[in-house]
Amino acid sequence: MIHSIADGLHAMQRLPADYYATPSAELQPIFPRWVPMGCGIAAAIFLLLGFAGGAIVMHTGLGKMFAIVLDMSAAELPPLLAKDVTPAQKQAMNQELSQLSRNLEAEKTNLARVEPVLTAMKESMADKKITPPEVDKIVKAAHDANQPAPPKPK
């Protein structure tokens, strides 16, 4: 006598082959109707928000968004400055970073030139204390980013 795999199963449980072989009128859905509809609506809202966010970025410009990021990062620097950082270094750093932010908003600076500045700031802030050499490194990176881009060869 050959035993079926389904012999030990309860009457309420079905094998996948039995489920798919049954006419669709007799099938009871696995999930309530609102589950797939809710997930579909959530996915549609997510896509609409993504497209709206992309449209906002394209309208306002990526430079303005990077200027906001730079300003937020620069606001975190003053409390971390060591006591031996001179007022002249603080002023030079603030001037270069604010000029870079203005250049980003006006799209006078290439966004690729901002990466070394953000990297220098991140490395300086890693130990929660910014020393005078680190301030000089940030000022140099910001100064280099503020310089006009070299002309492209023809």
Query: Which residues in the chain land under pLDDT 50?
Result: 1
- Structure tokens that stand for 103 in this block: 């250049």
Residues 68 and 56 in one domain: no
Question: What is the number of domains present in the chain?
Answer: 2
Residues 82 and 141 in one domain: yes
Residue 45's domain spans which residues?
14-60
The pLDDT of residue 149 is 67
Please state, in angstroms and rounded to a whole number, the distance separating the CA atoms of residues 149 and 127: 32
Residue 151 forms part of a structural domain: no
Residues 44 and 74 in one domain: no
Residues 75 and 130 in one domain: yes
Q: Name the residue with tokens 């600076």.
A: 109
The pLDDT of residue 19 is 77
Residues 30 and 69 in one domain: no
pTM: 0.61
Residue 51 forms part of a structural domain: yes
Long-range contact pairs involving 109-117 (C-beta distance under 8 Å, separation at least 24): 109/63, 109/145, 109/146, 109/149, 110/149, 111/62, 111/63, 111/66, 113/144, 113/145, 113/149, 114/66, 114/70, 114/145, 116/141, 116/144, 116/145, 117/70, 117/141, 117/142, 117/145
Half-sphere exposure of 115 (CA within 13 A, CB side): 4
The pLDDT of residue 1 is 46
